[in-house]
Amino acid sequence: MKPLLIEIPKRPETSFQVIDYERPYFHNPIHFHSYFELTLILQGQGIRITGDHVNGFEEGDLVLIGSNLPHQWKNSPKSSVNGPTSIAKAIVVHFQKSCFGEDFFHAPELSKIHKLLEFAKRGLKIKGKTHRRICVHLKVLLHQSGVQKIQTFLSILDILSYSNDIVPLVSNSYIIANRKSEIEKLDEVYDYVLENLNRKIPLSEMAAKFHMSRTGFCRYFKTRTQKTFSRFVLETRIGIACKLLHHSNFNIAQIAYESGFNSPSFFNKEFKHIKGMTPLQYKRQIRRAISVVPFAGSH
């Protein structure tokens, strides 16, 4: 299923939206939008899809999803003699990076929040003491307006920016495969890799292209990415394979070749090593998440 663009109507009377969400079920398909989304689940349980990450969710889940990151919350209504009962309750905050002006979060005093918003491209699950603090702030935020509302919102971002209780959900390779580059200075390297993933890319070729020795290129790349070039190529291929497993009807062999693997058996081995399951198991998990219940979504 291809993610749908679902833009959120901008309200001129507010810089960001705080929604007291209550429905029989979460109802959107896998989708993305230009807004950041901070969601606290108050009631409901089901499957959450964030990029290439699939997991269950339940009451208390708190997740920050970055701009344009495909996602879905999925469950179904419970029936009673009086009809469906509401089991989908959440507090949802939608905001854009430019909500207080294009350069607001570039201020030196807000540098950690700026880094947080960049990190949110991978989808962030918030746990521990930070989770408890943010839950209190969100419940207060629901009933605020004016300057107090802005102060509480900035406090939430500030707490998150200093927290160690944050776990990224989406693999970096998936983000690179979708966004083509994450580190500005390495754009040329990443673009070249993406353009040539259907063949072996010798290290000597990369070194020559960027006018370095093999040793110099290896040192340069690992210093900036914390991984070897060969590992990066492998993870990028796996990231593209995840996209194809999500959004195509190709069989496993086709996906192996489309993502640059010469051997389906080697593809299966490396995919399991990185993702903890075989490509077929991953595809079945995605299909179960999409088909087990009739509706899904975020907000």
Of 155, 170, 185, the residue at which a domain comes to its end is 170
Q: Who contacts 82 (Cβ-Cβ below 8 Å, separation ≥6)? A: none
* Domain identity same for 164 and 21: yes
Quick one: 81 and 110 in the same domain? yes
Helices and strands per DSSP (H, E), number in the chain? 11, 13
pLDDT attached to residue 146: 93
Q: Which single residue is written with the structure tokens 């307006």? A: 145
19, 166: one domain: yes
Q: What is the pLDDT of residue 3?
A: 64
Asked if residue 297 belongs to a domain, the reply is no
pLDDT of res. 235: 84
299 touches 92 (CB < 8 A): yes
Token pair for residue 162? 């200093």
What pLDDT is attached to residue 221?
A: 82
Specify whether 181 is located in the same domain as 243.
yes
Residue pLDDT, tens place only, 9-46:
777 778 999 999 988 888 777 888 889 999 999 988 78
Same domain (yes/no): 179, 43: no
Question: Quick one: pLDDT at residue 62?
Answer: 97
Other C-beta atoms lying within 10 Å of the C-beta of residue 168: 17
**50 with 170: CB under 8 angstroms?**
yes
The pLDDT assigned to 178 comes to: 58
Q: Is residue 127 part of a domain?
A: yes
Shared domain for 16 and 164, answered yes or no, is yes
User: Does residue 182 sit within a domain?
Assistant: yes
69 shares its domain with 144: yes
Same domain (yes/no): 177, 133: no
pLDDT in tens, 62-109: 999 999 888 888 875 554 445 455 578 999 999 999 999 989 999 999
**CA atoms of 238 and 294, how far apart (whole Å):** 29
Residue 188 confidence (pLDDT) above 70: yes
Mean pLDDT, rounded, for 244-254 = 86
Q: Domain of 80: which CATH number? A: 2.60.120.10
Quick one: 15 and 139 in the same domain?
yes
Question: Which residues on neighbouring strands pair with residue 125, listed in sequence order?
Answer: 63, 167
pLDDT for residue 185 is more than 60: no
**Would 279 be classed as within a structural domain?**
no
From 136, 170, 204, give the residue that closes a domain: 170
* 227 is a domain residue: yes
pLDDT at 168 over 90: yes
157 and 100 in one domain? yes
Q: 194-224: string of b/e by CB count within 10 Å (b at 16+)?
A: eeebeeebebeebbeeeeeeeeebbebbeee
Looking at 116, 150, 170, the residue that finishes a domain is 170
126: enclosing H helix or E strand: strand 124-126
Q: Which domain CATH number covers 208? A: 1.10.10.60
Q: For the residues 125-154, what does the mean pLDDT come to?
A: 96
| pLDDT tens-digit readout, 265-296 | 999 999 999 888 999 988 887 776 555 444 33
Q: Is the pLDDT of residue 125 over 90?
A: yes
pLDDT at 1 over 80: no
- Which one is predicted more confidently, 183 or 55? 55
Determine the pLDDT at residue 291. Answer: 54
Mean pLDDT of 151-180: 85
In this structure, is residue 121 part of a structural domain?
Answer: yes
pLDDT at 63: 98
Q: How many domains are there within the chain?
A: 2
52 & 136 share domain: yes
Do residues 89 and 14 both lie within one domain? yes
Q: Does residue 299 belong to any structural domain of this protein?
A: no
* Structural domain harbouring 250: 172-262
pLDDT at 76: 58
> What digits encode the pLDDT tens for the residues 201-238?
999 999 998 889 999 989 888 876 667 899 888 888 88
Lowest mean pLDDT among 3-17, 25-39, 191-205, 240-254: 3-17
For tokens 């995919």, name the residue: 271
* pLDDT at residue 181 greater than cutoff 50: no
**272 domain-assigned:** no
For residues 148-162, average pLDDT: 97
- What gap in Å lies between CA 290 and CA 299, rounded to an integer? 17
217 in Cβ contact with 228 (< 8 Å): no
